[in-house]
Amino acid sequence: GLLDPKIKAKGKKYFGSAADPGTIGVAIDVTILTSDYGAYTPENSMKWDATEPSRGSFTFTNADALVAFAQAHGRLVRGHTLVWHNQLPSWVSTITSAADLTTVIQNHVTTLMARYKGKIYAWDVVNECLNEDGTLRSSVFSRLLGENFIDIAFKAARAADPAAKLYINDFNLDAPGAKTSGMVALVGRLKARGVPIDGIGTQTHIQLGRAGTIAANLQTLANTGLDVAITELDIASSTSSANEAQQSADYATVARACLAVARCVGITTWGVSDKDSWLGAAAAPLLWDTNFVRKPAYTGVDAAF
């Protein structure tokens, strides 16, 4: 068995996985999710297209199932994600007035968070809002509301479930550079405006051999005064034995990075087995292979964490 399935039991940090109907409905995945993982993030079921496909009409079947599964096993849930330019239904993208969009954001955030109030450890309130150069990404949200869409979303989130930790989440925050600096600067502006924010999620979709900068970068993010979390870890590789050894070392490096940074609350891998990875089985980015056999990467994490 792994990896300390309960948050901060024995003073440790959680180790979680993405999960959804395609895994919580499959016996071998359930065995692994319940023996080795202490937290779950719905891979798709809480996204806007899944939960509010038309305006004011909400569907929660799969999200409810994930939350019920977590509750039945005493596990944490990371809610993912409330305001994101992807997997966004077209009715949102075609809104043309700032006032209308504000109402729509507030209603979406409030409805999802109220439904699961008290059952979600942390929410990714805003996802992937930065460009690689650290500037604000163009989306219907930024075009109509500028950076203020982030304020609107976080304020609605805090009001809806005051106990939930509120995160801004993004990718390519694994090494120093314009995007990391842009995130630090953005969080500084949000805090200066009194926006209620608790954490920075770093997705950590990385390539083989790129784990060495992560500990220092987590500390850079934590120096904003917020919690940090590794929210969608996978390490794209292949199945050659040399790559599997490097991947194991990389996973151990990432696990030790979170342990070394006091404000790092935990790690979530973006799935269980390579069979179901969003990157495709050939990328072999996860801890179990396509036959649900533990890989060297599992051993690397288990030894380090």
At CA 254, angle to CA 135 and CA 259, rounded to 5? 105
Q: Integer distance in angstroms from the first to the last C-alpha of the chain?
A: 12
What does the block give as tokens for 285? 């980015």
Q: Which is nearer to ligand XIL, 141 or 249 (CB)?
A: 141
By CB under 6 A, is residue 292 in contact with ligand XIL?
Answer: no
Min separation Cβ 129 and ligand XIL, Å: 11
Quick one: three-class SS letters along 215-240?
HHHHHHHHCCCCEEEEEEEEEECCCC
By CB under 6 A, is residue 253 in contact with ligand XIL?
Answer: no
Q: How far apart are CA 129 and CA 61, in angstroms?
A: 28
Q: Which of residues 134-193 bind ligand XIL (CB under 6 A)?
A: none
By CB under 6 A, is residue 273 in contact with ligand XIL?
Answer: no
Min separation Cβ 127 and ligand XIL, Å: 5
* Cα four-point dihedral sign 9, 10, 15, 21: negative
What does the block give as tokens for 142? 């930024």
Q: Identify which of 292, 130, 119 has the alpha carbon closest to the alpha carbon of residue 203.
A: 130
Min separation Cβ 278 and ligand XIL, Å: 3
Which of 43, 52, 232, 244 is catalytic? The answer is: 232
Phi/psi-derived region of residue 192, left when phi > 0, alpha when psi is between -120 and 50, beta in every other case: alpha
Q: Which is nearer to ligand XIL, 14 or 48 (CB)?
A: 48
Count of positions on this chain that bind ligand XIL (CB under 6 A): 6
| For helices 241-260 and 296-304, angle between their N-to-C axes, nearest 10 degrees | 20
Q: Identify which of 17, 74, 5 has the alpha carbon closest to the alpha carbon of residue 42.
A: 17
Instruction: Return the residue of 62, 102, 127, 273 that touches ligand XIL, per CB under 6 A.
Output: 127
At CA 279, angle to CA 299 and CA 305, rounded to 5? 25
Min separation Cβ 54 and ligand XIL, Å: 20
Q: Which string of x and - marks every residue 59-78 that binds ligand XIL (by CB under 6 A)?
A: --------------------
Q: Which is nearer to ligand XIL, 74 or 280 (CB)?
A: 280
Q: How far apart are CA 288 and CA 294, in angstroms?
A: 5
Q: Which is nearer to ligand XIL, 102 or 127 (CB)?
A: 127
Q: Which is nearer to ligand XIL, 201 or 296 (CB)?
A: 201
Instruction: Return the residue of 12, 30, 44, 143 that touches ligand XIL, per CB under 6 A.
Output: 44
By CB under 6 A, is residue 111 in contact with ligand XIL?
Answer: no
Host H or E run for residue 127:
strand 122-127
Residue nearest ligand XIL by beta-carbon distance: 278
Is 14 within 8 Å of 76 (Cβ atoms)? yes
Instruction: Return the residue of 4, 43, 52, 151 that touches ligand XIL, per CB under 6 A.
Output: 43
Q: Which string of x and - marks every residue 198-227 that binds ligand XIL (by CB under 6 A)?
A: -----x------------------------
| Residue 232 annotated among the catalytic residues of the structure | yes
Min separation Cβ 81 and ligand XIL, Å: 6
Instruction: Return the residue of 26, 28, 178, 278 that touches ligand XIL, per CB under 6 A.
Output: 278
Is 12 within 8 Å of 4 (Cβ atoms)? yes
Q: Which residues bind ligand XIL (CB under 6 A)?
A: 43-44, 127, 203, 232, 278
Active site residues: 232
